[in-house]
Every structure is written in C-alpha cells, then in structure tokens.
Copies of this chain bind each other. A is one copy, B any other.
Amino acid sequence: MVKYQSSAMDRTFAALADPTRRAILLRLEQEPGLSVSELARPLAQKLPGMMKHLDVLADAGLITRTKAGRTVSVHLAVEPMREAMEWLKRYERFWNASLDRLVAFVEKEDEP
C-alpha cells in the first residue's frame, strides 16, 4: 500500500469496510460499554482478532476504550461517521432530487 499517513476520512471508511467491525458498531449502539470479551463472543472471534478490529476502530476515532480494573469497556464515538455522511451528502441530489438532472446527465452521454 505504501500509505504512510492516511487522513481521518480514509481511516473512517476503511474501518467501515469490514462486516465484523460494522457489527461491532451496531452492537455498541444497542449496548454501550460492552467489554472486549463480550464483543468477541457472539462474533465467533478470538480475542487477538477482536483486538485488531478494535485498534482499527479506535484509530478511526469510531470507538473509545476505558479500562476499569482488568476489563475494558468500549463506547461508540460517532463524529467520524457524521463526517463520512457529510461527504456522501454531496451525492444526495443524484437520488434525492427530481429526475431532471439525471435525465440531463443521461442525454449528455448520448452526445457525440
């Protein structure tokens, strides 16, 4: 890859690209503060694998971890998702607005 530094948005989208990580986020939405083991159990994930996913999510700023004794509770942090959504919003007009623009777009393609 040779990507020595990546932007916040790069990391956010990359973190969201894995189904296990999306499942983690969905679960945390329902049950904030779950521990690492509790997160791993239903996902049939060993702890080392879960650690890597949590590292990716934390790098992207999508979770925070707080340690209490020997257990770690994990919490959602949605700000990066808001920014990802802001980016996508740029394209909202393509499916949200009237079809005028789409028609114009298609017609332009047919020009020589």
Contacts and interface: CB of A to CB of B under 8 A. Distances in A.
B109 A75 contact: yes
Interface in A78-100: 78-79, 81-82, 84-85, 87-92, 94-95
Contacts of A13: 13-14, 16-17
A81 B75 contact: no
A99 to B, nearest CB: 13
A88 to B, nearest CB: 5
Interface of A: 6-7, 9-11, 13-14, 16-19, 22, 25-26, 29, 32-33, 66, 73, 75-76, 78-79, 81-82, 84-85, 87-92, 94-95, 105, 108-109
Given A13-B17, A33-B108, 12 more contacts: A9-B19, A10-B18, A10-B19, A11-B17, A14-B17, A32-B109, A33-B109, A66-B109, A78-B91, A78-B94, A79-B95, A85-B85
